Amino acid sequence: MNLRRLEVLGLAIGLFLSVQLSYIHPDEHFQSLEVLAWRFFGINGAIPWEFQSETAARSFVPLLLNYGPLFCVFKATKVDNPLVILRLVRIQNYLTFIATSRYVMKRLYGAFSAKWCNFFIATSYISGCFQSHSFSNSFETIVLLIVLALYNELLPHVRDHKTQAYKISCLLGFLISLGCFNRITFPAFILFPSLVVFWRFFRTHQGPLALLLVSSTVSSLVFILIDTRMYQSNGLTVAPLRNLLYNFDEANLEKHGLHPRYHHILVNLPQMLGPAILLTNPRRHNFKNSSRGLVISAIASGMLFLSIFRHQELRFLLPLGPLLFACLNPNASIASINSAFIIKLWLVFNVILGTIYGVYHQGGVLKVLGRFQEQKAVGVHVWWKTYSPPTWMYMNKELVVSTTMLEQGIETVDQIPFEAISNHVIDLKGCADGLLNSTLHSFLENGANVKLIAPDSLAGRLDSLQRSGSLTLTPSDRISGHLDLDHLDISDLSTFQPGISVYSVELSR
């Protein structure tokens, strides 16, 4: 088994997966590209509550630093094809992650000791499928890795290299502030490593500590002023504070889904590591070695504090990915079976999950949007039982976006302006069949040209809707590369059918 060739092949496959049109979670669009397209291109779309002036709970600063230069190039060169923009953003994210992780692991472990970590990073589906997508968690990974590398640089500086220690401390202040403004979870990852560095370095070096605090404070004030300007607020906008207060209320987290507190450890962690979890070598990491102590403390810190909150998604653990891979060592693991066999299982595991999450997962949504953008003319588009369509991909300055509302726990369409029969996108989410039926009728009775977009896994329910009502659904387009994992029903095998279809909807005569 030639590991070097497998690593290069893994990097190539990761780059390939990064440009595929899978769709893992709405936040990868609505908390980044949707907002950026709105600001840079003046398009209309579904701007989430976190980026609205009255409820501002997300900072613009990390988005502008990470994607601003690329979007300036798009604007200057008049690139407005959403699929081109999406793919270039993902290529940037993937290459940045690979370059940063390899550099940091070399600094932490040395070139020889980091070889296994680099191999697992290159061959993991997490790199090509999650890190390449425009999640705030992806950027959080980059910032965390750099902070840990800088922490490691400080630890040997007990007496010498004071000038360098001051420079590193100043940069650390900026990065820690940036990490916190990017995601409020960032302190969870650096708390234990920060305590280690404080005890071993800052406790006896008050000058660099003071500079770090000043740098962090000044950076935070600058970020607050930028956000205040961006949101055009009368008072100061402290976005991370609003986000923190929102997430401390479990009633708010319940809207996004609650999980048991062991979900990260027993579900998400094994989903990241797969069979490679058997290659863990706990003895390899201890606090006697400064760099390895930082890695294991960051893992412990992140897992502990993120597990306190009951909303737990796999992507929340992305910053721990490279650190977890650094704990794997096939030459000295807890596995009692042949490690070469486990590596083969690891490769199969990542091929399967890479295909699911990197190529097919909700992939038809973005492909349909790419075709709609080419057509330019938009009547009424009703999306049902799909992930929320990233409306920025319409690239439409006249777009009206509507969705269902919950009133006393009952889902309604009372807020949808049915008189708007052009450039109108409706996200019906997972509403009941009856609500879909009434929505379609309301638009058709107003003379709208209605298109319905729905996964083929629910084609049986649409057939029943036609038979029991006065609607005619005529398929006008279909994309086979779409996998809907949200509506599988073992009692109805038709729900396992892949694909997504666009229907022209008319009233039956």
- Which is higher by pLDDT, 253 or 380? 380
Mean pLDDT, all residues of the chain = 91
pLDDT of 335 higher than 60? no
445 and 344 assigned to the same domain: no
315 and 423 assigned to the same domain: no
pLDDT of 388 higher than 90? yes
pLDDT of 282 higher than 70? no
Structure tokens at 244: 């923190």
370 and 342 assigned to the same domain: no
Are the C-beta atoms of residues 424 and 400 closer than 8 Å to each other?
yes
Are the C-beta atoms of residues 481 and 359 closer than 8 Å to each other?
yes
Average pLDDT of the residues in 316-323:
96
- Which 3 state secondary structure label does DSSP give 405? strand
Residues paired with residue 472 on neighbouring β-strands, in sequence order: 506
Residue 91: domain span: 3-360
**3-state per-residue secondary structure call for 267-285:** HHHHHHHHHHHHHECHHHC
Average pLDDT of the residues in 478-489:
89
Average pLDDT of the residues in 10-29:
96
Predicted structure pTM score: 0.94
Going by C-alpha positions, the residue among 157, 154, 159 that lies closest to residue 170 is 154
- Which 3 state secondary structure label does DSSP give 183? coil
Going by C-alpha positions, the residue among 44, 42, 88 that lies closest to residue 67 is 88
Are the C-beta atoms of residues 193 and 151 closer than 8 Å to each other?
yes
Please report the pLDDT score of residue 351 as a whole number: 97
Place of tokens 């989430």: 48
Q: How far is CA 386 from the centre of its chain?
A: 17
* Helices and strands (H, E) in the chain, number of each type: 21, 8
pLDDT of 498 higher than 70? yes
- The continuous run of DSSP H or E covering 477 comes out as strand 471-479
395 and 338 assigned to the same domain: no
Using the 3D structure, point to which of 336, 360, 384 is the last residue of a domain: 360
Provide long-range contacts, Cβ within 8 A and 24+ apart, for 430-437. Answer: 430/385, 430/486, 431/384, 431/404, 433/461, 433/464, 433/465, 435/404, 435/411, 436/382, 436/384, 436/465, 437/465, 437/469, 437/471
pLDDT, one tens digit per residue, over 416-439 is 999 999 999 999 998 998 899 999
Using the 3D structure, point to which of 360, 377, 398 is the last residue of a domain: 360
Confidence of residue 470 (pLDDT cuts 50, 70, 90): confident
Q: Which ranges of 290-417 does DSSP label H, i.e. alpha helix?
A: 290-306, 321-325, 339-355, 363-375
Using the 3D structure, point to which of 343, 360, 377 is the last residue of a domain: 360
Confidence of residue 373 (pLDDT cuts 50, 70, 90): confident
Please report the pLDDT score of residue 482 as a whole number: 95
The pairing of strands 424-427 and 380-383 is: parallel
Break the chain down into helix, strand, coil percent, rounded to 5: 60, 10, 30
Please report the pLDDT score of residue 289 as a whole number: 61
305 and 420 assigned to the same domain: no
196 and 184 assigned to the same domain: yes
Confidence of residue 332 (pLDDT cuts 50, 70, 90): low
Length of the chain measured in residues: 509
Share of residues in the chain with pLDDT > 70 (%)? 95
* Torsion angle defined by CA atoms of residues 151, 157, 158 and 163, in that order, rounded to the nearest 10 degrees: -110
Average pLDDT of the residues in 318-345:
83
pLDDT of 148 higher than 90? yes
445 and 314 assigned to the same domain: no
304 and 384 assigned to the same domain: no
Taking the C-alpha atoms of residue 47 and residue 41, their distance in angstroms, rounded to an integer, is 14
pLDDT, one tens digit per residue, over 285-317 is 555 566 778 999 999 999 999 999 989 999 999
Going by C-alpha positions, the residue among 398, 394, 399, 432 that lies closest to residue 413 is 432
- The continuous run of DSSP H or E covering 455 comes out as strand 450-455
The pairing of strands 471-479 and 410-412 is: unpaired
233 and 306 assigned to the same domain: yes
97 and 230 assigned to the same domain: yes
Please report the pLDDT score of residue 489 as a whole number: 80
Taking the C-alpha atoms of residue 243 and residue 245, their distance in angstroms, rounded to an integer, is 6
Are the C-beta atoms of residues 397 and 44 closer than 8 Å to each other?
yes
Taking the C-alpha atoms of residue 198 and residue 182, their distance in angstroms, rounded to an integer, is 23
Taking the C-alpha atoms of residue 320 and residue 450, their distance in angstroms, rounded to an integer, is 45
- Which 3 state secondary structure label does DSSP give 474? strand
Q: How many distinct structural domains can be found in the chain?
A: 2
Please report the pLDDT score of residue 337 as a whole number: 64
149 and 268 assigned to the same domain: yes
pLDDT, one tens digit per residue, over 233-274 is 888 999 999 999 998 888 888 888 888 999 999 999 999 999
For residue 329, give every residue at least 6 positions away whose Cβ sits within 8 Å of its Cβ, in sequence order, or none: 116, 279, 281, 284
What's the CATH code of the domain at 405? Answer: 3.40.50
Confidence of residue 408 (pLDDT cuts 50, 70, 90): confident
pLDDT of 160 higher than 70? no
- Which is higher by pLDDT, 490 or 187? 187
Taking the C-alpha atoms of residue 44 and residue 35, their distance in angstroms, rounded to an integer, is 10
Please report the pLDDT score of residue 338 as a whole number: 75
191 and 324 assigned to the same domain: yes
